Amino acid sequence: MPQDGQHGGMPVTSVPSSPAPPTIGPVRRELRITARLLADNIVISALPPLAFTVVAALRYGLGGVALAGSVLGSLLWSVLFIYVVDASNQAAAAHEDRINKPYRPIPAGLVTETGMWRRAVAGSVLYLVIAACCGWIPLLCAAIWTASITLFHRRVAQRHYLYVKPWIMVLGVCAQLAGGWSIAHPLDGTGWRWVLGCALLFVLPLPIEDIRDIEGDRAIGRRTLALVLGARPVRAWFIVMMLAWPVLAWLLLFRDSGAAPAVIAVITAVFTALCWGTAAHAALHRGRRGDRIDYQLYSVAQLALVASALVLLT
């Protein structure tokens, strides 16, 4: 019998082993996880508070170092705001993501649910530290929001999602916009009117989000309007709300902004075209792809509403 290392009495030439594939460094790996974690919501959630910081800074004459410091602080504050939300959300709803959003970190196998909860805790601590550096109102907003979103994802049963989520979303928009404004200047009457007005307008068409996620929501027992009433009534409500948005925005925010009438007219016309175009798309396009585009267009309209303050209030 051949001995080890021999075949038929002849020496066997050993084949060099292939080099082990390079491992992803911890920093690169964390950046990869974070990119997938924030991919869906970074724009819609991080830009509004940053925009409100710039609005307050310009409205009250901040310049130079103060303006740069406010913008930098707001950028960190805004990104950590959505990091805390998405980390806790994805840790709590991993099974739904495996169906609806398999590209996210947990379904993609980049991190476990326990690991995502650890990131939610670490992100919350860092968020509170950054908020404390920005002022007591941003800190208060961050503390309230962190506690609320953590309790929502850890303690609220999926069957209560239907009527708890809208209040959480209103609180979230108020926290992000009030915090963003307060980083540059204390909130005044104008600031509060825009914070509350944007929060109200944001939440009214929000059920459109749940149409695209019906399959995953059903799998985890989550109750949403789309599952309780069906997709058609929710889509009809969304169309009505997008048609009404420009009118409500003009009544609540635009007309008393203090801007010149011509400027208000132009902003209202542009916003109307965007909202009514979104309503038309929702009426004409059905199916999973159409529902996703509807939500994306709604997100763009929300950003346009917030961005209008850059023109009307400065």
* Average pLDDT, integer, range 5-32: 56
The stretch 232-243 carries a mean pLDDT of 95
Q: Report the pLDDT averaged over residues 88-102.
A: 90
Look at residue 44 in the predicted model and tell me its pLDDT.
86
**Neighbour-count burial for 48-65, b at 16+ CB within 10 Å, e otherwise:** bbbbbbbbbbbbeebeee
What is the percent of the chain with per-residue pLDDT over 90, rounded to a whole number? Answer: 69
Give the list of residues 6+ apart from residue 198 with CB closer than 8 angstroms, or none: 48, 173, 177, 253, 302, 305, 306
- Are 76 and 128 in contact by the 8 Å Cβ rule? The answer is no
Q: How confident is the model at residue 24 (pLDDT cuts 50, 70, 90)?
A: low
Looking at residue 15, its pLDDT comes to 39
pLDDT at 107 over 60: yes
Is residue 119 very low, low, confident or very high in pLDDT (cuts 50, 70, 90)?
A: very high
Residue 250's pLDDT is 97
pLDDT at 35 over 70: yes
Residues 69/41, Cβ–Cβ less than 8 Å? no
DSSP class of residue 110? S
**Nearest CA to 208 among 231, 184, 182, 181?**
231
